[in-house]
Amino acid sequence: MKQAPSRPLIGVFWMVVTGLMFVAVTAIVKYVGDDVPPAQAAFLRYLLGLVFIIPMIRPILRARLDLRQVKLFGIRGVVHTVAVMLWFFAMTDITIAEVTAMNYLSPVYVTLGAALFLGERLAARRIIAVGVALIGALIILRPGFREVEPGHVAMLFTALFFAAGYLIAKQMSGEVSAAVIVGMLSVTVTIGLAPFAAVVWVTPTWEQLGWLFLVACFATAGHYTMTLAFVAAPLTVTQPVTFLQLVWASLLGYFVFSEGIDVWTILGGTVILGSVVFITFREAQLKRRVVTPIANETKV
């Protein structure tokens, strides 16, 4: 099959739109805050978003998943459930910019996981890039110079669990269609979040339900436009554009939520993203299979 020609400007455009979609997600979650407990807010986001998987029901039924595949999807659902709850909690505890910057760690964890569990060779360039990314995380956290909040710790584990889920999805991508992977994730995470939401349940208002439905809409739209970006241009073109998300998140936090602009957070996020871009660029140069996702691929 002839490969579609690269359209870098179109790819950049769709990646910019993707960034705006995910910044809208973080803004709404921040606005809702802890009026709805994080576990319940996460559950409602997925429950209300189930309407978008209706077209995926038939592919799931046709896939005839075997026991091993069901177990893998179940494990992915568990790790993603934990990641989503931690992410929603972090949004109520630290700034939008810090959440955005630390989310860039997920692709770095994926690089390590691919070497440890998928048998990929951990070349020197990857080791260096991982080390640089960890330095970026230390720049953001600055332990010993500032108080490390529970939200910061939550984001460290959020990125780790998102990466674990991505590695499972990567393994399953050669066996089932993308519709099955996305649909099964939505179903398993909704089920996984239900008991946690029940424990802390408070009756939401119609306004809160409306905002959380918008979260589901923007998240779904973001993943769709991200796919369009991948089709239009290679990762080496679209990857650097994700830096704009950190800029927008910082401006949003400053102007809308009265959060200070922390140059250390921006610097740390830039260092982390730079390491991810370096890995992606080197892999593309060597024409090797890229397993490092962009930060948006591991979002809620």
Task: Quote the pLDDT of residue 278.
Answer: 84
- Burial bucket for residue 164 (CB in 10 Å: 0-12, 13-18, 19+): buried
Closest by CA position to 39, among listed 79, 75, 82, 100: 82
Q: What is the pLDDT of residues 51-78, one digit of tens each?
A: 998 888 898 899 889 999 999 999 999 9
3-class secondary-structure state, position 177: coil
Per DSSP, 287 falls in state T
Low-confidence residues in the chain, pLDDT < 50: 1-2
Which positions ≥6 away from 43 have C-beta within 8 Å?
190, 193, 194, 196, 197
CA neighbor of 165 nearest in space, from 100, 235, 110, 122: 110
Q: How far apart are CA 245 and CA 248, in angstroms?
A: 5
pLDDT on residue 1: 43
Instruction: Say what the pTM is.
Output: 0.88
The C-alpha atoms of residue 282 and residue 45 are separated, in whole angstroms, by: 37
pLDDT value at position 5? 62
State the pLDDT at residue 79.
96
Q: What's the length of the chain?
A: 300
**Torsion over CA: 138, 141, 147, 153 (sign):** negative
The residues spanned by each domain of the chain are 8-298
What pLDDT is attached to residue 182? 85
Instruction: Give the pLDDT of residue 204.
Output: 95
CA quadruple 46, 47, 53, 57: dihedral, nearest 10: 130
Q: Is residue 102 a contact partner of residue 155, using CB atoms and an 8 Å limit?
A: yes
Judge whether 29 and 91 are in contact, CB under 8 Å. Answer: yes
